[in-house]
Structure 1
Amino acid sequence: MSVEKLDMQSPDLVNQNIEMLAELFPNCVTESENGKAIDFDLLRQELNGAVVEGTKERYRLEWPGKKEAIVTANLPTTKTLRPVRDDSVDFDNTENLYIEGDNLEVLKLLQESYLGKVKMIYIDPPYNTGKDFVYKDNFSKNTQDELFESGQKDEYNQRLVVNPETAGRYHSDWLSMMYPRLKLARNLLKDDGVIFISIGEQEVHNLKKIADEVFGEVNFIGAAGRISKKANNQGDYWAPNFDNVLTYSKSREFAVPFFGGINYDNYTEVEAEGPRKGEKYQLVRLYMTSLDPMRGCNNQRYYIECPDGSFVIPPGEVFPNEIKDGANVSPKSGKDKVWRWSYNSYLEKKDQIVVKQVRSSNLVNERGEKTFWNVYTKTYLQDVIDKSTATPNNFIEDHINQKASHELKALDIPFDFAKPSSLVEFLAQTCRVEKDDIVLDFFSGSASSAHAVINLNSKDLGSRRFIMVQLPEDTDKNSDEFKAGYKNICEIGKERIRRAAKKIKEETGADIDYGFRVYRLDESNMQDVYYKPQDYLQTNLDLFADNVRPDRTADDLLAQVMLDWGLPLSLKIERLEIAGKDVFRVAENSLYACFDKGIDEAFAKEIAEDQPLRVVFRDSGFKDDTAKVNVKQLLKQLSPETEMKVI
């Protein structure tokens, strides 16, 4: 009896696309030396109501390397993410992720575990100013080829236009870098998910075109201009003081209206008890001098009892006959002022009333004398968010880059060109990121987005999670960052999260997740023989004895297994000892993983008692071939819902 092996690589999107097309157009499926393929000429005919005779001109953006960019997005990867516990904070319990590595490979690895699970993506990619381009993919062409294909040189190597030598691939390289990453990012968004992309004037026109193609033009839901600097004397013509935030939904059909127009700073009170404990609210006076009592306010003049046993009421000339809480009277003239709430509303929502002493009040007591008590109602922030129809302006003024400089300085971290965390927090509120949603930033830089998520959670005790991805780009040896001990940008981002979390916890005391798990992109845990056993002779039996690289730990193997099985890396991980063996338990009974040697029937019986949904072992971890077969049979008998695989 054979036991199914895990693939230990990201999904093959090409084959998935072929299978989907095969279901719709089985007659367009053909065979090639590499297996199934699509007859594109026939497919084009199936998608056209007229006879297709050849390639026709059509509206789209083309550049040298576009086809290679599409291929690159679809190719699977065998790379993996290795946990770095020493750099992490509260690794076993946190649900936040910080991933070091090329975001193209990382996005591929996240395809199954986070497919359709991310509510908001914010990225601040290189603006392609000529100084900030750092991502170079395998399909980049050499300068001479690029100049020829882009029309800047003819077949005799003569320059056709006057341009800098680098201009031949200036836009194409950037487009080829962005295109596959956007394609992969789209897959991760929830149906109501939104992506925000900050971009400068250099590539905003090209970004709009490729994003229209990737997300669909119908899903473009607007662009905002953001003031980036208060003053800037740079530039020969216009001084660049703003950038753009292009915004796309995964599906306009499911996208919720944006939310704006609320001053969050007004909501300074926090509910201390009851069903709404922890929610933020503001106090609003119940007495409004602008209300006209003669406009249908007959039941809005009544007594409210104060903590000292006295009673208050808006000023006027007539008073209720009884002196008790809720006793009311109808106004006789415009001099008899009223509350905002009717008497019935007061009775129904009395738990939202706050009566407290103040220095000055317009209210009077039962004798018509001035009092120092005032009455307020609680207006909960969440209620306003749920009911508000106000949308934000598409001109963002309050989140300039100087704010980023100030907050990094407060954390004693040197870094230039960061976006302020308040911008990401504003965007998260704008697209209504809920308390348990995921925020992804795969150009995370100094980790402003992580800072924003922690700060947002501290305000409403939310459990939003972040996923930061950053290439460990070296810092300049002459920079303040390098002199401060930060050898690459990832070191800056991780330290920024640690310090920001500590500062927020000290200031708010909020009981939230302040930790993060660090993972680092690396080559597969499996040796080459795992993926291509057909390339090795049976005489090389030593290669088949254990197909795991010798320098890899059980932690490493667990991470790759979780990704391969489509489990989020944020799930709670526990380590147990069962029958003398080290076992990982992931999210209660979602996955049991044991990579020890000597797996036998007795161990299988103990594992089966917990009825895990999934179990994984090393292929070489069984006591012998008989034990391997018996373990599978025992699990099938004792825990029928358990799926067993090996690596």
Structure 2
Amino acid sequence: MTLDFEPVGDLTGPGEAKSNLDVLARLFPDAVVDGTVDIDALRDLLGENAAPTTAEAFGLRWPGMAEARRLSTLPATGTLLPKPEESVDWDNTRNIVIEGDNLEVLQLLRRGYTNKVDVIYIDPPYNTGNDFIYDDKRVTSQAEHEAVAGQRDEEGVLQTGKGSDRAQDRIAGASKHSAWLSMMYPRLLVAHHLLKETGVIIVAIDDTEHARLKILMDRVWGSENFIASVVWQGGRKNDSRFVSVGHDYMLIYAKSLGTLRQMDARWREEKAGYSAVLAQGKIAWEESGHDELAAELKMRSWFKSQPKDSPVQALGRFVYFLPDGTLASDTDMRAPEDRPNRCRTPISDPRSGIQYAVPKNGWFCEESTLFKLRDEGHLIFRSDPSKPPRLKKPLETVSGQVPLSVFERQRTHAGRSLEELFEGKSPFDFPKDTMVLSRWISLVTQSDPDAVILDFFAGSGSTGHAVMDLNAADGGNRRYILVQLDERVDMDGYETIADITRERLRRAGRQIASKQSPDAAPIDTGFRSYRLASSNVKAWDGTPDQLNLLEAVDNLVAGRTADDLLVEMMLRMGVELTTPLETREVAGSPLYNLAGTLFAYFGTDITIDRANEVAKALAAWRDEEPGDADTTVVVRDTGFVDSATKLNFAAALKQAGFTTLRSI
């Protein structure tokens, strides 16, 4: 048993190259030799299912694909700096907004949020042919693309002369498609780890990349997990030469469609006009003095008074009432097909005594059920005995409907809403529509009030706004994680798009909170703000300053705080960023307690006396609420006056029962 602190930096996470190798080694030890994979041995172990290296396979290929895939396996090298001054209700909120390149951020989140996200909704930048702003070795230039694709010779000359069947514009187009795919591919691969087995991803896209994105999604998520390509008709373009292309798509995939089917998951939404009809039914019942016939007449009159294009007209048959005042329509009681066990007993109206003939195929239910429905007032008897009774069907039983794969909503609605929120000065021309987002988030989570929603192309923050709207509507506790690149904008009051994201969420939160009734349960309208930055730990670069060992003893970047170091430690160890945190002052520095399962102390100049004080404080705090979980202690690697003090501290912790010791 070691008494030293193991470096946090040695840990690996799911999806990272080292972790993938460890998984292979556990599954196929014969195929991993001295930390490398023997591809031939692995192919032998897989047998006939292993394709030869020269095999042709169906799928999408493009220059730069292999490098894009490799990028997804790299561990994150940076950290997130907490920004409480940019945040709202930092201590209590569970919402997160992160500014920085989303691939690096997703890699940072991978350890703590693998299999924890319920919905991913992204509206990535459409491929307009312009240079991508995600310029981080993930995008090749057109010249680089042409070289990789074999369209330039060894001297870099473009081969488009005599005998070439490749037009210049086709070459340029292929380069732009490759660049866009190389941007999307690693991000989708990392995102796949974050989604729960029951989770769903929705990706908005237009015609330019829809076909390629569909094949890419099939590769990452599996074609067997494809759910739908939803068409959103957003308006008409009368200036179009040929066809008014006013639609976009939403590609929807499950992490595991088989799991959703095993759960018998079904996506349903309330029919348009349902709430209005239900409310009117209650009014008619009360105004009629609980008289069924009078209430029916009132409902018929109300339906006639509604506009012909009103959505309530689709529910115009709901004019009947059950004895308890439940609004209902009528439905057929005749059996659809003849079976030997069908009930064929005649039934009569208890009021008029009229007996009704048995239908050709009998009744739809058993005899006991038939007479029970009659006695409880669930049947509608007609004056003509040749016409069989009909069954009253409560409105509540038909409230849900399957969403269509095509829907229409003008895109101008979202722009106007954002303009109102920013008091007439909308910072975005084409923001996402919160109504559309709320609808689909609610549908795919089956209204789960605790769902976690991720959007790593956050834009103005519409997804966060939609989540807060949903929580306000039903009292849920959904939370969001938004990631937005620090893209510069030329706009008064805002330096980056992320500035707009945060301001939009502040305004939306205030607006939503102001509309809540005094007796309503409080909802989370806050967020924690973080910014992507280089690691708090100095990278070794062999400069003269670092070659001076006395100056290199402190391995932390100047200006970083203990709170900054805490966040990096949480990211590297796979701890969620909103894990409950308590702090106490011990020996001149903060002692952090993360939900009782992890303690961190980043004090410096720790002597033996201070180390003993910290060890006693750690044990006492842990014992206040002892649990069954293993407790980890993390310290600053260079926080001790000498190595002997550090070893003594480790021994004291082991003696106190702490089993996992780490350093950063």
Q: Is the shorter-chain TM-score for this pair beyond 0.5, marking a shared fold? A: yes
Q: How does 1:426-441 map to 2 (within 5 A)?
A: 426-431=439-444, 432-441=446-455
The alignment status of 1:228 with 2:234, answered yes or no, reads yes
Map of 1:162 onto structure 2: 167
Map of 1:311 onto structure 2: none
The alignment status of 1:547 with 2:564, answered yes or no, reads no
- When the two structures are superposed, what TM-score results if normalisation uses the length of structure 2? 0.75
Q: Distance in 2 between matches of 1:467 and 1:52?
A: 39
> Structure 2 vs 1, CA of residues 417 and 22 (structure 1 numbering), >3 Å: closer, same or farther?
same
Q: Distance in 1 between matches of 2:325 and 2:149?
A: 81
Map of 2:510 onto structure 1: 502
- Once the two structures are TM-superposed, the CA of residue 601 in structure 1 deviates from its matched residue by 0.5
Q: Which moved more, 1:569-578 or 1:90-99?
A: 569-578
Count of matched residue positions in the alignment of Structure 1 and Structure 2: 548
Of 586, 592, 602 in structure 2, the residue corresponding to residue 595 of structure 1 is 602
Map of 1:617 onto structure 2: 635
Q: Distance in 1 between matches of 2:455 and 2:280?
A: 30
- When the two structures are superposed, what TM-score results if normalisation uses the length of structure 1? 0.77
Gaps of 5+ in 1: 270-279, 292-298, 305-329, 336-340, 347-376
Q: Distance in 1 between matches of 2:486 and 2:352?
A: 74
Q: Distance in 1 between matches of 2:101 and 2:280?
A: 42
Letter in 1 for 2:636: R
Q: Distance in 1 between matches of 2:10 and 2:456?
A: 23
1:16 is paired with a residue whose SS is: helix
> Structure 2 vs 1, CA of residues 503 and 626 (structure 1 numbering), >3 Å: closer, same or farther?
same
Q: How does 1:476-625 map to 2 (within 5 A)?
A: 477=490, 482-483=491-492, 485-509=493-517, 510=520, 511-529=522-540, 540-587=548-595, 589-597=596-604, 598=606, 599-611=610-622, 613-622=631-640, 624-625=642-643
Q: How does 1:84-483 map to 2 (within 5 A)?
A: 84-131=83-130, 133-150=132-149, 152=151, 157-159=158-160, 160=164, 161-164=166-169, 166-229=172-235, 231-255=236-260, 257-263=265-271, 332-333=351-352, 390-398=401-409, 400-412=410-422, 413-431=426-444, 432-475=446-489, 477=490, 482-483=491-492
Q: Distance in 2 between matches of 1:466 and 1:83?
A: 17
- Once the two structures are TM-superposed, the CA of residue 24 in structure 1 deviates from its matched residue by 2.4
Letter in 1 for 2:455: D
- Once the two structures are TM-superposed, the CA of residue 580 in structure 1 deviates from its matched residue by 4.4
Letter in 1 for 2:208: Q
Q: Which moved more, 1:511-520 or 1:161-170?
A: 161-170
Identity, % of aligned pairs? Answer: 36
- Once the two structures are TM-superposed, the CA of residue 37 in structure 1 deviates from its matched residue by 1.5
8 Å contact from structure 2 (residues 139, 180) kept in 1: no
> Structure 2 vs 1, CA of residues 236 and 47 (structure 1 numbering), >3 Å: closer, same or farther?
farther
- Once the two structures are TM-superposed, the CA of residue 87 in structure 1 deviates from its matched residue by 0.6
- Once the two structures are TM-superposed, the CA of residue 80 in structure 1 deviates from its matched residue by 0.5
2:257 is paired with a residue whose SS is: coil
2:118 is paired with a residue whose SS is: strand
The alignment status of 1:38 with 2:51, answered yes or no, reads no
Letter in 1 for 2:159: Q
8 Å contact from structure 1 (residues 95, 572) kept in 2: no
Letter in 2 for 1:3: F
Q: Distance in 2 between matches of 1:577 and 1:548?
A: 21
1:611 is paired with a residue whose SS is: helix
Q: Which runs of 4+ in 1 moved over 4 A?
A: 50-54, 151-156, 263-269, 280-291, 299-304, 341-346, 535-539
> Structure 2 vs 1, CA of residues 345 and 606 (structure 1 numbering), >3 Å: closer, same or farther?
farther
Map of 1:631 onto structure 2: 649
8 Å contact from structure 1 (residues 474, 488) kept in 2: yes
Q: Which moved more, 1:409-418 or 1:498-507?
A: 409-418
Q: Distance in 1 between matches of 2:660 and 2:273?
A: 51
* 1:23-76 per-position Cα deviation (integer Å, ceiling 9, x unaligned): 222222234xxxx11122332343342997651212121100000011111111
1:633 is paired with a residue whose SS is: helix
2:413 is paired with a residue whose SS is: helix
- Once the two structures are TM-superposed, the CA of residue 268 in structure 1 deviates from its matched residue by 9.1
- Once the two structures are TM-superposed, the CA of residue 635 in structure 1 deviates from its matched residue by 2.4
Map of 2:315 onto structure 1: none
Q: Distance in 1 between matches of 2:325 and 2:269?
A: 34
Q: Distance in 1 between matches of 2:50 and 2:17?
A: 27
* 1:433-464 per-position Cα deviation (integer Å, ceiling 9, x unaligned): 51111000000100100000001001111111
- Once the two structures are TM-superposed, the CA of residue 283 in structure 1 deviates from its matched residue by 5.5
Map of 2:67 onto structure 1: 68
The alignment status of 1:15 with 2:18, answered yes or no, reads yes
8 Å contact from structure 1 (residues 9, 77) kept in 2: no
- Once the two structures are TM-superposed, the CA of residue 575 in structure 1 deviates from its matched residue by 2.9
* 1:208-251 per-position Cα deviation (integer Å, ceiling 9, x unaligned): 1111010111011111001122x223543222211010011111
> Structure 2 vs 1, CA of residues 422 and 132 (structure 1 numbering), >3 Å: closer, same or farther?
farther
> Structure 2 vs 1, CA of residues 18 and 603 (structure 1 numbering), >3 Å: closer, same or farther?
closer
8 Å contact from structure 2 (residues 90, 526) kept in 1: yes
8 Å contact from structure 2 (residues 232, 247) kept in 1: yes
